[in-house]
Amino acid sequence: MKLNIHTQLDYSFTEPTDVVLQLEAAPLDEQQVEAAYIAISPTAAFARVAGHDGIGDRVVLNVESRLTVDYTATVTLNRLAMDYASLPATALHALPGGVLDYLAASRFCPSDLFGTVAESEFAGLAGGARIAAISDWIGHYLTYMAGSSTQYTTAMDTFVARQGVCRDYAHLLITLARASEIPARFSSVYGLGVEPQDFHAVAEVFLGDAWHLVDPTGMADPSGIVRIGAGRDAADVPFLSSFGFATFIGQSVEVWEV
């Protein structure tokens, strides 16, 4: 599958401000980035650094008063379709060192508070079968509602409110997976079929010695997902971080199949 991506951002600032962007498709074995181009308004400083876990790049800027970004790319996806539900969990002693970090609680994913919930709701299930059940449970009990959460909403808040957006769905799945001793991380992506079109968030779970994408909102199939970055939760991979006050002017994201 080949997808086109077009993203535009427009923000203003009252004083010189440091900004970090992570919105470009990551070059990976499973996705080849072609004809990518990013246009950024003049800045006082510009640098590229590796993203979390070496996935994608972060662009570090110093912006004086206005930031506009225009990003386009064509991405060819060759991700192998796999039914993760049939995969076994990887024994903890066999997990790669970097994967162990994704068993721990994090800012938006307090998995240490969900052990009882995970066992009571998904008893008797393990590995991919438990992840599939968690995803189905989230899809059944949560209502997708734009504006129902904020940048401070945690998985516990979402569990109580039973509503949220893609970020909240991903955080809750990650939390319940970690509470089930299955490594899970947050992935910022572009997704074909996401409505309304915007930056999208999904979970990744480590099963059968590899990471697998899971979208508990059901909007995007892994075959139509372009990965941007990954981390413990949304705090690690925001598309824009401003170290000072920023005023939103406009933003658009478009993803379509070639």
* pLDDT on residue 81: 76
pLDDT score, position 40: 98
Virtual CA dihedral for 191, 192, 197, 200, nearest 10 degrees? Answer: -10
pLDDT at 183: 98
Residue 197's identity, in one-letter code, is Q
Amino acid 1: pLDDT: 92
Cis peptide before 196 (omega within 30 of 0): yes
**114 three-state secondary structure:** coil
**Which contiguous run of DSSP H or E holds residue 9?**
strand 2-13
Would the pTM of this model clear 0.85, i.e. be above it? yes
- Residue of 246, 174, 254, 250 lying closest to 211 (CA atoms): 174
Residues 6 or more apart from 66 whose CB is under 8 A from it? 10, 11, 12, 13, 41
Please report the pLDDT score of residue 69 as a whole number: 98
Q: Where are the beta strands (DSSP E) in 14-148?
A: 17-21, 31-40, 45-50, 57-63, 66-77, 143-144
* Residue ranges of the chain whose pLDDT lies below 70: none
Decide: 121 and 137 in contact? Cβ < 8 Å: yes
149 vs 73: CA distance, rounded Å: 30
pLDDT digits (tens, 9 = 90+) for 106-158: 999 999 999 999 999 999 999 999 999 999 999 999 999 999 999 999 999 99
| CA distance linking residue 131 with residue 84, whole number of Å | 8
Instruction: State the pLDDT at residue 80.
Output: 82
What does the alpha-carbon distance between residue 141 and residue 125 come to, in Å, rounded to a whole number?
A: 19
* Owner of token pair 């599939």: 132
Report the alpha-carbon distance of residue 166 to residue 128 in Å, rounded: 21
The token pair at 163 is 């509503």
